[in-house]
Amino acid sequence: MNERNTVLYLNRNHIEQVGGGTSELYVAAVEQALKLHANGDYVQPLKPYLRVSRDGQTGHIADRIIAMPAHIGGDQAVSGIKWIGSKHDNPGKRELERASGVIILNDPGSNYPIAILEASLISGMRTAAVTVIGARHLAKAGFTRISCIGCGTIAAMQLHSMLEQFSGIEELSLYDWNEAASVKLSQSVAQRFPAVRIVITESAEGAVRAGEVVITCTVADQPYIPFEWLREGAFVSNISIMDLHKDVFVRAAKVVVDDWDQSNREKKIINQLVLEGSFSREQLYAELGEIVTGAKPGRQSEQEIIILNPMGMAIEDIASAQAIYQRALAANVGQRLSLFGKDA
């Protein structure tokens, strides 16, 4: 088959074959994407949300399909888009993962598609990489306790990535309204990391109060974590966006986002605060790329409570997919699909 007129299809198994099931690849790719973001070497339109309710507003916050296009520069320049759908009731109602999607990579010279990749693994793992990178710069040095609220697939990727990257973690506190999910996650973690102590708490409050690093992995559409629950010096990776009360953002020592324009929209908590006049771009401490490049310092004291509120950026997905694609080419992994149905 003439590769000039084909795309390389990489399913989840292919992605795992070339290292896409562990954190190393994603941490390197996302860190590079954040540097490109800080240096302005990217293009990233605001991502549209497709909601099928008549007014586009009602329904669960996690029920949507998002289009995330981007171009990244640097040595591995590439364009692409992530098209990812989510239904909050997929696990319970359909026995499916909550999110599913594809990533398409395009050659930046011709704009022809060159690869199609299963997206949900990449999406979850690059999100975990953001927490890892955030913790390197924003958590207390030598932290040993992590708390995780919500114990589904995303939580598993978060915790496995953190445990792979930080050998000093001693204790995990887990909470999910569905205790079976907490038990399942604890068993998964214990199998790979038997030395880590795992506590399943009876409340979200109990878990949050225990954590030096707190990770939210829920489908909550209303905040439930007040500032008073956070211990001195806590770092919160607010992955699921809607979990923290407004007072947390106002009272924290530092609030960091991945991209201000992406974060200040869709009536998420930061956007609500901006509309109310309680928060602004000037009150934001930094975008994460500024900290990764050293343009701004990260944590500066043991006492600071620091919030990372990452909406998720398309450049992180495209950078990760590009790294996987390059590894797949080198290892001759994947399936070639003809664009035109014939060699031409």
**CA distances from residue 145 to 86, 197, 199 in whole angstroms, order as listed:** 30, 9, 11
Report the distance separating Cα 119 and Cα 123, nearest Å.
6
Closest CA relative to residue 239, chosen from 129, 88, 86, 98:
129
For the question of residue 82 being annotated catalytic, the response is yes
Report the distance separating Cα 185 and Cα 92, nearest Å.
16
> The tokens of 315 are what?
């450049």
CA dihedral 140, 185, 204, 235 (to 10 degrees): 20
| Gyration radius of the chain's alpha carbons | 20
Exactly one of 82, 87, 140, 254 is catalytic; name it.
82
Asked if residues 321 and 103 have their Cβ atoms less than 8 Å apart, the reply is: yes
Q: Which helix (H) or strand (E) holds 70?
A: strand 64-72
> The tokens of 31 are what?
């860190």
Residues carrying an active site annotation: 82
